[in-house]
A = this chain, B = another copy of it.
Amino acid sequence: MKDSPEDQIVNAILDAIAEQRLPAGTKLGEQALSDLFSCNRANVRRALASLAAQQVVELRPNRGAFVMTPSPKEARDIFQARRAIERTIARHASGQASAEDIAFLRDNILEEAEARKAGDKPAELRASRQFHMRIAQIAGNLVLERFLSELTMRSTLILGLYSPTGSSSCAEDEHDRIVDALAAGATDELVRLADEHLRHLEAGLNFDEPPAAPMSLREQLMAPRSTPNAK
């Protein structure tokens, strides 16, 4: 059961984006990737085509592949779609959660809180994402699960761009109450909480100041310092 090199690349990039290690706008050079994963460029190319089909990567002809930079309008669309899908998921998950599911989710909340306290952003984001995805699994619809997977990925990019650092992830007590409703089989309550939860997340965004300029790998390493130019 070994993954094809192409899947490896796709998954590695998706993971990196989900944990905000790859910010929006980062250039994904073919050479760099084929070196990293020690495979030929053909595989890299196919992987990038897959990611582009999922709208996670933008393919500019003759320029290369870049991590997608969602516009404010796209951000709105994505969160709107997320609400529609997560509400549906909540409705179908209600009453379907096993004891292990509930245990997993409670444990996951602790994990996220710890990561937040420790200042480990990647771990925090990973836990938060797992929370939402686990509920999707409970709902048992693979199509909705895949859609949500794509949307959480893009949400992470949005948070990285438009979130006044810090408010970027979910309020943990909301997760708490969601598990309570899920365990109690309170469908309407669960749907309401899911919707509210996402509205809060979206409300924390700030589109006023333009997103930080797209970075290349070079610029990330050049240490911007305090731009020593001026008059």
Contacts and interface: CB of A to CB of B under 8 A. Distances in A.
A6 B54 CA distance: 16
A144 B88 CA distance: 14
A131 to B, nearest CB: 20
Given A46-B49, A147-B147, A151-B143, A88 B77 contact: no
A151 B147 CA distance: 11
A129 B28 CA distance: 36
Given A45-B46, A49-B50, A85-B84, A74 B144 contact: no
Q: Which 6 A-B pairs have the closest CB atoms?
A: A53-B53, A84-B88, A81-B143, A50-B53, A46-B49, A49-B49
A80 interface: yes
Interface string A58-86: 00010000000000001001101100110
Given A6-B49, A80-B88, 7 more contacts: A46-B49, A50-B52, A77-B144, A80-B92, A80-B143, A81-B143, A84-B84
Interface in A140-168: 141-144, 146-147, 151
Nearest to A61: B4
A42 interface: yes
Given A53-B53, A54-B53, A61-B4, A81 B46 contact: no
9 contacts: A4-B61, A49-B50, A74-B142, A78-B143, A80-B88, A81-B144, A85-B85, A143-B151, A147-B147
A128 to B, nearest CB: 20
Given A49-B50, A50-B53, A52-B50, A147 B42 contact: no
A153 B128 CA distance: 32
Nearest to A4: B61
A143 B46 CA distance: 23
Contacts of A61: 4
Given A4-B61, A45-B42, A147-B147, A81 B141 contact: yes
Contact of A77 (B6, B49, B77, B141): B141
Contacts of A141: 77, 80-81
Contacts of A146: 55
A9 B211 CA distance: 35
A142 B77 contact: yes
